[in-house]
Amino acid sequence: MKLLRHTSPDPQQLALQLDFFSSDFSSQPRIDHPAPKHSPGSTPPNAPVPRIEAPTPIPNGKRRVQVAEHALDYTLVRSKRRSIGFMIDDDGLRITAPKWVTLTEIENAIIEKQRWIFTKLNERRERSARRLQPQMEWRDGGTLPYLGHDITLRILATQAAGILYDPVTKELTVCLPSDAAEQQLKDRVQGWLQLEAKRLFAERLPVYAEKLGVSYQSFALSSAMTQWGSCTADGKIRLNWRLIHFALPLIDYVIAHELSHLREMNHSPQFWATVQSVFPEFAAAKKALRDHAPETLPIF
């Protein structure tokens, strides 16, 4: 999430935006660990006894170390930095350490940060697995996400225009000519989803505005590729129509988030306390949105 400012910002133009897909998808999760405090080239006093097996070089240039029952591969990069840095990317764990830090000290840092390391590695693997899921097929019997559940497309060959959703069977019937192109089906479904999003947002915004004791001036749908929503200081709310793919709690979180900016136009601790006051489960919802792979959503 980021605060967008223009030169000499006008308070009425100040806007806060909630990232569409978190930068976690493009950036590398990283933490820093303080390097041991001893002079370069000297032997550290009272060096701790290693609690893991010695690292084993492996053919691809990585090192391998046994952490409890896990064999952990990592890439070690020496630099002039003053701390030991841990990064997780598509190639796995990368450690950047000062040239004077010993392998024993690096191993002990791995032990101390092992929970963070394995958590991030598992998250990366899960995201990669989701990216490998097959894309939806735009045909009769195809499925797409709607309010957190898959619904089935039914195509009715007819010259009459129409679209109807049955909540019992969870089927969306689209009337199209028999020679209709795939893009016509996409356009019809997208139009329906946007209407549903507008209807639902119009229902949920007043609920959270009342809970927060705020008033918004207007709201509109957004098709932004980088944000889920935004809020200006003068009460203009924009919500991404693609939120309609997700379950209601995630939609409510984004709505509560944006409306909370009408009380705290920042991302300070006071802001998050405001969000929590009306949406206690905000942390779980925030993580769910952050972890959702964009590749699993339909492409229109």
The length of the chain, given as a count of residues:
300
pTM (predicted TM-score): 0.64
Q: Count CB neighbours of 124 within 10 A.
A: 19
Sheet strands (E) in 114-212: 143-146, 149-157, 162-166, 171-176
pLDDT of residue 168: 96
Please list, in sequence order, all residues whose beta carbon lies within 8 angstroms of the beta carbon of residue 81, skipping any fewer than 6 positions away. 96, 97, 98
What is the distance in angstroms between the CA of the first residue and the CA of the last residue of the chain? 25
Q: Check residue 55 and give its pLDDT.
A: 52
What does the pLDDT read at residue 12? 41
pLDDT of residue 242: 94
The pLDDT of residue 38? 61
Domain spans of the chain? 60-133, 142-296
Give the pair of three-digit tokens for residue 51: 């609690």
Provide the pLDDT for residue 267: 92
Question: What homologous superfamily is domain 142-296 in, according to CATH?
Answer: Metalloproteases ("zincins"), catalytic domain (3.30.2010.10)
- Confidence at residue 82, expressed as pLDDT on a 0 to 100 scale: 84
The reported pLDDT for the residue numbered 132 is 55
pLDDT at 2: 34
**244 SS3 class:** helix
Q: Which residues in 20-82 belong to E strands, given as ranges?
A: 30-34, 56-57, 63-67, 70-79
Q: How many CA atoms lie within 13 A of 276 on its CB side?
A: 9
d(CA 287, CA 25): 12
pLDDT per residue as tens, the chain (300 positions): 333 333 333 434 345 666 544 433 334 567 777 877 765 544 454 444 444 445 555 556 688 888 888 889 999 999 887 889 999 887 889 999 999 999 889 989 998 999 999 988 888 777 766 665 657 889 999 999 999 999 999 999 988 889 999 999 999 999 999 889 999 999 999 999 999 999 999 999 999 999 999 999 999 999 987 789 999 999 999 999 999 999 999 999 999 999 999 999 999 999 999 999 999 999 999 988 887 766 668 888
Q: Cα separation of 211 and 257, whole Å?
A: 12
pLDDT at 292: 75
Note the Cα 58 to chain centre separation in Å: 33
